[in-house]
Chain A
């Protein structure tokens, strides 16, 4: 009987877990950003709460995705990172690709990419399980989130306004309206943004779903 009960409990628990695993959350802007903890490319444990007092930017990335590749090849993402760094932002590049899928990298490769692309992330998080991605509802690479120094989510969406359609691949990223770069000051001042939610564009985040 006991065995039976625990089996049933196990079934219920596991089905709940499975359901939770494939549902993307949808955090609201101007509310507390979901807390998370992850491992960076140097093996350190990084908590979002470590950065209270400093604004944070989350960048979902996958270096093999053509959308991400264009942003890095044209030195656009790096330019935004540099600008954010100057404004004392913490920049977390997050890779939610599951092992074996596109974009998944070993820690050493992640550091090599940062080096070779002259990128300025504060940390690169390796989110193999996709937990952080699901908490934030990250759908695409790139997908951007801005959190103010009090831990309030201020922005979620696309990095800029040129992602709609195939024109992206011939568009000039320098001339785009960059929602992240343009709104750094407002986030720094813990203010609500004029444009707080946009539709992210790019490749799908390669979550583990099998």
Chain B
């Protein structure tokens, strides 16, 4: 009697839990770790208990087979993320090799729902291929009653054992194999790398593991095709999975540390010519010109001070990025411009510089060195500050080569981050460093004269233009009201500059006080970021859009952009936004997708990380027949673009 009751209870509870479905060679069920009916984020798992000798497949099934397919029936406001694949095992079928799971396995899916959603039940059509030596497609329609709270320990256990940690690797292609070097302090016996890419590896061949130094290992995965540009997958160490993701040496994306350093140096040098830096840099050049007749020590010291300013700012940015990233935040180059406060401050700095240049006011501050003031010649802090300023205003720009280098720096272990940023700084400050080494070369610059005063005044206009552009960014990020507040602040700044320049000391204090008070006023009314609207002719980006479009065989072009990214804006004017290009996209049925990163967005940051980038611009193109989507160059013209699209 007791037994009957017990089995009844088990039967009923199993009904309530998940409605297991017998599919033929397995039992499928839905389980969840939902603990509270109002929880906004929780997991649902598809549990598959396979009969002995049968298996199903991983994302990359290996030589044959297929991963499962789960079609969720969800209400509006409910998002089911992609499956988080458990660490697979090798299932050899000589001479073939397949990757998958045996026995009892749970496939976890993260669910998000808004509070308004009254989600009572979750349903899925689960189709999978189950194989012993023969294969059978089986399926189950599963549903789970979410009003019954019965958190599953099995699911939690599976989630805890999911491969979530990224293990950093350094890889190269050597002798027909991909050699992946990694560090592991804890001892292990067996290692296997499960590659996600499906067209490059010879799965059946043995992967050789070698201990090359203390705690440093190399695993070789035989290749069938050597033109591998990047790879990702799961490294299994005695069954414990680690995520692996790396770009390899190639012209477009992946590179070695060496290459990254060279790219950074080159990118830094080109950065000098980018529109956001050019005005500030040209002022510095002018100040050097004015030193034409000076003694070389002075020139050298000024150049070194400028280089010092540049380098220490790059160092600070690198450190800040590393610290913030270590907290798990996905940020990259130009991230500071995602904050309207920073954009506002930069606007005021640009406006201020513009006004000072135009009115030829001498202010006893670090800014003087921007001009050609003779008294401040010994004030090296001025040169230092110009260096700092140049980097700060450079932050919205990405020069060619730079994106790849910075992406590499930030996605690599920290020992690679600092050298790359320093190399970037070195490239940026390169011309001045040369001046410091060879001060006599200053003679090659034009002779100083009255023309410099005129040119200096002229440079006020690029500065103010930059300010205008930043104002636009600010408006996009916030609202027209906030922009008016910023403009009022600009007015006060102008007044303060005039007061300081024209009157005695006490008035200066007054001016300063007025500015500070107004600043407080603005900061109290901190604007909230607004949501950008997609253009009429573009689709908004979503994290899964690439997979969706690829599975529909729909060609696409993704534009990762932001209002503050001036390179992006230039590309849009020069290529993407042009009528001919839009007509071409329409004609060839290429879906144009915009990922707008004007405001902070973790999804987009992760999307960029998939391409080993942390900054923008980034253009991704795919059409049916291509194995992998392609990264287009960072600087586009319509010719270049059309060539790539063809």
Contacts and interface: CB of A to CB of B under 8 A. Distances in A.
Contacts of A169: 127, 137
Contact of B624 (A65, A161, A197): A161
Interface stretch (B61-69, B312-320, B430-438): B61-69
A140 B93 CA distance: 12
A188 interface: no
B66 A165 contact: yes
A197 B135 contact: no
Interface in B57-89: 63-69
A134 B64 CA distance: 15
Contact of A204 (B65, B136, B198, B202): B65
Nearest to B96: A204
Given A140-B64, A199-B198, A101 B133 contact: yes
A102 interface: yes
Contact of B68 (A164, A166, A202, A205): A166
Interface residues of A, number: 36
Interface stretch (A6-14, A19-27, A107-115, A118-126): A19-27
A67 B135 CA distance: 9
Contact of A66 (B67, B68, B137, B553): B137
Contact of B96 (A24, A164, A194): A24
5 contacts: A67-B135, A167-B551, A194-B625, A204-B98, A209-B93
Given A22-B94, A26-B224, A66-B136, A165 B198 contact: no
Interface in B159-217: 198-199, 202, 204
B94 A209 contact: yes
A177 interface: yes
Contact of A177 (B64, B69, B624): B624
A205 B93 CA distance: 9
A17 to B, nearest CB: 14
Interface in A181-196: 194-195
A16 B620 CA distance: 47
A64 B63 contact: no
Contacts of B133: 101-102, 206
Contacts of B64: 139-140, 201-205
Given A167-B551, A199-B198, A24 B134 contact: no
Interface residues of B, number: 30
B95 A209 contact: yes
A72 interface: no
A34 to B, nearest CB: 16
Interface in B119-144: 127-129, 131, 133-137
B63 A161 contact: no
A168 interface: yes
Interface centre among A23, A164, A165, A201 (most CB of B within 10 A): A165
Contact of B66 (A65, A166, A195): A166
Contacts of A203: 64-65, 131, 134-135
Interface in B202-248: 202, 204, 224
A138 B591 CA distance: 36
Nearest to B68: A166
Contact of A165 (B63, B69, B96, B624): B69
A89 interface: no
A26 B202 contact: yes
A186 to B, nearest CB: 14
Contacts of B129: 166
Interface of A: 22-24, 26, 64-67, 101-102, 134, 139-140, 161, 163-170, 177, 194-195, 197-199, 201-207, 209
Contacts of B202: 26
Contact of B94 (A168, A195, A202, A207): A207
B95 A23 contact: yes
Contacts of B98: 204
Q: What are the 5 A-B residue pairs with the smallest beta carbon separation, nearest first?
A: A166-B69, A204-B64, A209-B94, A166-B127, A139-B63
B85 to A, nearest CB: 13
Interface centre among B93, B94, B224 (most CB of A within 10 A): B94
Nearest to A177: B624
B135 A24 contact: no
A13 B66 CA distance: 38
A177 B94 contact: no
Contacts of B137: 66, 166, 169
Contacts of A194: 625
A24 B134 CA distance: 20
A200 to B, nearest CB: 8
B66 A139 contact: no
A195 B627 CA distance: 10
Given A26-B224, A177-B624, A165 B67 contact: yes
B96 A139 contact: yes
Contacts of A197: 199
A113 B452 CA distance: 91
Nearest to B135: A203
Interface in B375-402: none
B126 to A, nearest CB: 9
